[in-house]
Amino acid sequence: MPLKIDYQPYTLHFKFEAGTSRGVLTEKTTWLVKITDEEQPGVEGYGECGPLKGLSIDDIPDFETQLAAVCKLFNGLDLEVFPFNLPIILEQVIPNHLPSVRFGIETALVDYMNGGTRSFFQNAFLRGERGISINGLVWMGSDEFMAEQIEDKLSDGFTTLKMKVGALNFDQECRLLESIRSRFSPDQISLRVDANGAFDSDEVNEKLNRLAEYQLHSIEQPIRSGQPELLTQLSASSPVDIALDEELIGKFDYMEKFSLLKKIQPPYIILKPTLLGGFQHCREWIEIAQRLSIGWWITSALESNIGLNAIAQFAAQYDNSLPQGLGTGNLYQNNITSPLTVHNGCLYYTSANDWDLAPIQSGWITA
């Protein structure tokens, strides 16, 4: 029998008001997909399509309609999946303007091919033999709230902290950075900041010089995307290393990716599989970055544990010593229970903990 895709919306509820440069988040609706075959009862491959509001190119009003159309097309093709035809299915069935759908269906297909066990890549992380070093994310909010988060992350053993900048009072943000740096040297605590494109062109150099006082590891996307000339200048001259994030979104052609990185020559790029169109596109970015001696790390995009698990296993395929951005599993009150745990600044897959898919056993929609 051919493969069949069902989907369902699943609303994740934050444990707190999560402040970002694009507003305060209290919930996030994501879309789960499930792949089955009547001839393989009990084998279910799961994936997650979770466009990020205000950032993903498929954050569109008719997202469900377009997701349903892709599922209907898939279900009408009498498909079987093998490693050799997986890229063909993804390319032919899912348009580029739906990168989160491509990521979700890609992971569901890989999960199905591996027996429906939420196992994507056989590596030491999946076997529970080693963890993945991750950064501790500090959300925007009051001085007290941000200071409390910083203390919690430090007590939890994180040695890399990431803080948003550009949406609150800049002096306030600098005071928080100064409070950390006055206690810990760069050898003890590495500091990353993410501006989400918040700095204007006439102020960016001044602010980068100010941030450099705190001996930061890097700054993500200091200016809004679509300004390659200015980004090229900043990558060459900034006292804080630049990491491209939003700049990569919407780039699917290999040569376009290569030309962008060769021109700008950023010290780092940041890869979000949900926003970039899945693992194959991320592999291309990594290959290009390594050819051009550009550093990189992988980041989740507020997925549930369904998507986060797949991203973590993908990240573990690479020998990358930089802390990854995968510490989002504890954000939600109603996340899917999984073997993912965070301990001493690392993400682990603890086989002693089982998946609990009971919350998503009903509500599936067949297109």
Catalytic position from the list 153, 162, 164, 207: 164
Distance CA 276, CA 253 (A): 11
Strands 136-138 and 160-164, bridge-based pairing: parallel
Q: What is the DSSP string of 6-48?
A: EEEEEEEEEEEEEEETTEEEEEEEEEEEEEE-TTSTT--EEEE
Residue type, 311: I
Distance CA 261, CA 286 (A): 11
Distance CA 270, CA 289 (A): 11
* Residue 272 appears among annotated catalytic residues: yes
Catalytic position from the list 28, 153, 251, 272: 272
Neighbours of 164 (CB within 10 A): 23
Distance CA 196, CA 203 (A): 15
Q: Residue 14's beta-bridge partner residues?
A: 332
Residue 322 and residue 294 in contact, taking contact as beta carbons nearer than 8 Å: no
Q: CA-CA distances (angstroms) from residue 13 to 41, 58, 225, 327, 341? A: 32, 21, 29, 16, 19
* Residue 251 appears among annotated catalytic residues: no
246 Cβ neighbours under 8 A, 6+ residues apart: 55, 196, 197, 221, 224, 225
Residue 134 and residue 346 in contact, taking contact as beta carbons nearer than 8 Å: yes
Q: Which residues are catalytic, by number?
A: 164, 272
